[in-house]
Structure 1
Amino acid sequence: MRGHAFYKDEYQDAENLASLVQETDDVEELSEFLSSLNGFFSVVVDADDETVLASDRMRTGPVFYSVDDGKILVSDDCGWMTKETPPLTRSKVSEVEYETSRFVTSSNTLYKEISQLQSGEIVVFDKSSADISTYQHHTHTTTNSRIDEDELRIEFQRVLDAAFERLIDAADGRPIAVPLSGGYDSRLIALMLKRLEYENVITYTVNTGGDTLAIAERVAENLGFPWVTANVTHDEWGEFYNSDTWDEFFHSAAYLGGLPSPTEVPALMKLKRLGKIPEDALFVPGHSALDSMKATPEELERANDIQLGRLTDHIVDQHFKYNESTRIPSCDIESRVAESIGMDTSIEPRSSVEAFERWRLKERRAKLIINGSRVYDFLGWDWWMPLEDEALYEFWRRVPMSYKRHRSFYEEYIKILYADIGAVSIDEAKSTEDDSFKLMVADKLRGSLIWPLVSRSYALWDNSWMKQKYMVEYKLEDIYQSDPRYGIMSKSELKEYYDGQSYIFFSLLSRDTLEKIDLGTVELS
């Protein structure tokens, strides 16, 4: 058992949860028990007749498994899995998903012989027959609640307060470390801790270029929280990349199912070494369930039934946005979308909106965003995600789409709260790292009737030789110098491997992990 959660309003650590799991007699009882938990966990039970694997709603603890010669292999260490599993075969479809979205969907991984546990899933391996059975103790669905904005605001504050009271209970007086970015989610974490008068707080920010550091430091100062950062150089990133630590992190960070994010590793290693973040700190990242329910295209809201082709087109448009020159096999991706959302099964989505949200929560949310917490596990720190609290998830599930779209209600709420608690102007309160004109236009128009035209215009520019030449001649040098993560490659390598990608660092990192380009000496099994 890994993790911690609340059961019947009482905080339970991993040891207590393991005891409670052992009290269940069958899959039905286990499913009912897991559904009653509010927290973050993964379960492996090896009994005489069967092996059972289970994950929480967000799959916060990745688990991999394979079956060979009537036996099951189970681990959260990708390096061990690839060594112990018989000769491996790369999946071409999985490689495309990895290269263009940074993760592999459904139970698939980079290798055909290895599977990954999915969010809200229970996997049972029968030792006598060597058969695998799967069950869902959680499946995302949508509702059509009606509520006015005043009621919504009151209910949101009530649910937020309760979620953060649970965080404070879980922290039990320990220092809370908040990774403060230039965005709204981490800002809300800091605001709520200030509102509930939790004083043992430290904030930190990792430099990835832009004005993130300045914005984050200003937020921390306005709220009266200490703020630290670590100046990690290009050379230090290069040393990290060429060290055993890089391999160890990737193997522990579920790289077979999703591209790990190494962004925080060197900075946190340095802050830990310097004693700037306590050994017993509880890390609280700003991952929010709302992010998977905010951007459903309006076309899908108007659809009377699920048109799998159009649904897949929207998913690819939003989330397969890395290495844009890579050809995406539409039919194969469509089949994987159908598998992921449960088409033609007892849990088939009831609407296009439900299907879209379910895919985002189960795939992008779990394997790309939530998987970012692997860095805390790797460095030996505990963590909790209050914005993924079960009550908050249920709140957002009931909120009308008009309030969720583009996070309009949510971000307005945070601006007002920051202006109040931080004693700043509304203009100051709405300052974030993502204020570019292109991002603002895309955020407002995505899913609208004119979005296809706007999207095609962006695509024409993004895929043009003019943009690529402009970037190589005038921008790549600045991008390299401003972001120390590019220390994993040379300037000449950046120019050589850049082919017009909008998200350059992770696009090149995914290709390097797949061994399609060579940025250095890293070799993963």
Structure 2
Amino acid sequence: MQNSGIYKWQKHDKSAIKGFIYDSNGNLINSENFLSQIIPLVKNMQYSEVFNKFYGHFSFIINNDNYFIICVDKIRSFPIFYIYKDRSIILSDSARSLLENCRDKSLDEDAVNEFLKLGYVTGTQTLIKELKQLKAGQCLVYDKKTGSLEINKYYQFLHKDSLSGDEEKLFKMLDNVHERVFSRLFNSLNGRQVAVPLSSGLDSRLIIFMLKKLGYSNVVAYTFGRPDNFEAVVSRKISDKLGYKWLFVDYSLKKWYQWYHSEERKKFSNYADNLTAIAHLLEWPTVNFFKTNRVLNDDCIFIPGHTGDFITGMHIPEWFLGKKYIYQDELLDSIIKKHYNLYDWTKKSPKDFHLYKQKILSIIEEKDIYSPDEAANNFELWEWQERQAKFICNAVREYEFYNYEWRLPFWDGELMDFWCNIPLRYRIKRNLFHKYMLKYYSIETSSLSPVIKNIRRKKRSRKIYDLLSRINKVYIFLRKLKIFFNYYHHHLALPGVLKFYEYIKYIIKYGNDVHITLFIDAQWQINDYYEDFNIPKKKVN
């Protein structure tokens, strides 16, 4: 196991744990005490009790004369990778550290193609054929005597819809949950400096409001991007209102080109990607600036808003609720359309549709027809296990790389359980959460339109949209024309990773500006691997 980054493996006898754990009161628990409590539970295969009894983010290894048991938490906060061959197993928390143990270091071409469309690899695969990973909510059991390997799934992000009652009752329940979640967070900070990446969004606002409400004063809010961009303007107003110090890091096209093509960026990408997912870069220049210039305390703790919008229902397709039932192909197409979209590949490699649909079906419940609740449940199940756990939450590597700790309050187990018990009609478009924020924090959003009331209109609108989508050539042309001008107006200046003429070539060839920088990063990450190991490059489909 590696000990890079802020979080080290803490050993007790033959077992070890990585991460941070606290009890229901927010008191940090030392590794020896934690391991002594979980070993009896794990021996009896009571994995879920371990993660329901404790809070925080961690992975652990239980090792005795008979077996290894390796667990990652509900969002795979600290990934575990392994090679299993000849009934022997080799483990690490760093995928690259295992490469020397691979007989064949060649890339899995199916995984590469998926990586270029998604920005990460799904299932247990990585970019390397022999190298596998544990998925969120899984435990690996290896029997030392027989050499057998077993993967247990102890947790899935599934909804039960067991909480009922009027909105007022649900508002109070949610507010009580927030109080407990952030009280635990508060107690785990021990007065240390906190840095909150504050945007105009609701999630980071709730974090900073709760810190203020609980009386935590050692807080710095920050944002980044082009000067006077909308996010920065709102962020500063909120900070000033709450009396917190506010920092801003200026981004530009020129700076992005220099940052992206630096050795420091490549080192960070190699640390963070784990041959599984694109390394997050949005905050990387900011955290690099803070560390290099000693802007923050060395023991500062970052608290980002990952991923409040997801757990509260924002990502569920709104049209699900307007139908009596959803066919399997409709659900699969919805997942592919939303996630497999870093570039426009559908016409160039339509055969990949079948491959990806089969991979998705290996994760979700396979049925011919789903109710709206079932469709939403499976849609979110796939995204939790793949995009959220492997890509979004992996953004915390930006902090770890520079030896800063982090907390993710929206992935607190109690808050996850609350939203897993909320009916679909309250989750669609964050309906309940938006109304809660309006009632308790007087925050109005453009998304506060009465979603449920408009379902019939949405259903009619979808038919019109399907018709118009067949004759949208003019729209596509105008949109691409707008894309060319967006190079100079992106609020984070991200297109600066390319020169303008390179950017235009990418747009013309791949036809998507929404995620073009992610696609470029995915492509270059693959190319870096080819170069590092002298492997002949292959063209993108």
Q: Is the 2:140–2:151 Cα contact (8 Å) retained in structure 1?
A: yes
Of 374, 387, 393, which residue of structure 2 is paired with 1:351? 374
Q: Tell me the equivalent position of 2:117.
A: 100
Distance of 2:243 and 2:456 partners within structure 1: 37
Q: Is the 2:194–2:303 Cα contact (8 Å) retained in structure 1?
A: yes
Of 504, 521, 525, which residue of structure 2 is paired with 1:495? 504
Of 201, 207, 214, which residue of structure 2 is paired with 1:196? 214
Distance of 1:522 and 1:115 partners within structure 2: 21
Q: Tell me the equivalent position of 2:173.
A: 155
Q: Is the 1:163–1:389 Cα contact (8 Å) retained in structure 2?
A: yes
Q: Amino acid of the residue matched to residue 500 of structure 1?
A: G
Distance of 1:276 and 1:162 partners within structure 2: 31
Q: CA deviation at 1:285?
A: 0.9
1:68 aligns to 2:68 (yes or no):
no
Distance of 1:18 and 1:306 partners within structure 2: 45
Structure 1's unaligned 5+ residue stretches are 420-428
Structure 2's unaligned 5+ residue stretches are 1-16, 536-541
Q: Tell me the equivalent position of 1:312.
A: 332
Of 73, 98, 101, which residue of structure 2 is paired with 1:56? 73
Q: Is the 2:253–2:494 Cα contact (8 Å) retained in structure 1?
A: yes
Q: Tell me the equivalent position of 1:454.
A: 465
1:257 aligns to 2:276 (yes or no):
yes
Q: CA deviation at 1:272?
A: 2.1
Q: CA deviation at 1:342?
A: 5.9
Summarize the Cα distance change of 1:483–1:384 in structure 2 as closer, same or farther, 3 Å threshold: closer
Q: Tell me the equivalent position of 1:221.
A: 240
Distance of 2:410 and 2:102 partners within structure 1: 37
Matches within 5 A, 1:277-292: 277-288=296-307, 291-292=310-311
Q: CA deviation at 1:56?
A: 1.0
Q: Is the 1:52–1:122 Cα contact (8 Å) retained in structure 2?
A: yes
Deviates more, 1:111-120 or 1:288-297: 288-297
After TM superposition, the score normalised by the length of structure 1 is 0.85
1:505 aligns to 2:523 (yes or no):
no
Of 202, 207, 224, which residue of structure 1 is paired with 2:225? 207
Distance of 1:77 and 1:517 partners within structure 2: 15
How many residues end up aligned between the 2 structures? 502
Summarize the Cα distance change of 1:185–1:226 in structure 2 as closer, same or farther, 3 Å threshold: same
Q: Is the 1:65–1:75 Cα contact (8 Å) retained in structure 2?
A: yes
Q: CA deviation at 1:92?
A: 3.4
Q: CA deviation at 1:179?
A: 0.9
When the two chains are superposed, the root-mean-square deviation of aligned CA atoms in Å is 3.5
Task: Describe the superposition over 1:217-259 as per-residue Cα deviations: whole angstroms up to 9, x where unpaired.
Answer: 1111121111112234545444443333323322322342221
Look up the SS of the partner of 1:119 in the other structure.
coil
Look up the SS of the partner of 1:104 in the other structure.
coil
Q: Tell me the equivalent position of 2:345.
A: 325
Q: Tell me the equivalent position of 1:242.
A: 261
Q: Is the 2:487–2:495 Cα contact (8 Å) retained in structure 1?
A: no
Q: Is the 1:462–1:500 Cα contact (8 Å) retained in structure 2?
A: no
Q: Is the 1:247–1:524 Cα contact (8 Å) retained in structure 2?
A: no
Q: CA deviation at 1:202?
A: 0.8
After TM superposition, the score normalised by the length of structure 2 is 0.82
Look up the SS of the partner of 1:321 in the other structure.
coil
Task: Describe the superposition over 1:343-396 as per-residue Cα deviations: whole angstroms up to 9, x where unpaired.
Answer: 59xxxx993332222112111221222111111111111111112211111111
Distance of 1:208 and 1:111 partners within structure 2: 38
Distance of 1:57 and 1:201 partners within structure 2: 28
Q: Tell me the equivalent position of 1:390.
A: 413
Q: Is the 2:322–2:459 Cα contact (8 Å) retained in structure 1?
A: no
Q: Tell me the equivalent position of 1:169.
A: 187
Distance of 1:360 and 1:73 partners within structure 2: 28
Q: Is the 1:305–1:351 Cα contact (8 Å) retained in structure 2?
A: no
Q: Tell me the equivalent position of 1:470.
A: 481
Distance of 1:118 and 1:478 partners within structure 2: 38
Summarize the Cα distance change of 1:8–1:266 in structure 2 as closer, same or farther, 3 Å threshold: closer
Q: CA deviation at 1:289?
A: 5.1
Q: Tell me the equivalent position of 2:19.
A: 3
Distance of 1:446 and 1:288 partners within structure 2: 30
Q: Is the 1:179–1:186 Cα contact (8 Å) retained in structure 2?
A: yes
Look up the SS of the partner of 1:515 in the other structure.
helix
Task: Describe the superposition over 1:417-450 as per-residue Cα deviations: whole angstroms up to 9, x where unpaired.
Answer: 444xxxxxxxxx4468x99xxxx9xx99998563
Look up the SS of the partner of 1:230 in the other structure.
strand
Look up the SS of the partner of 1:73 in the other structure.
strand
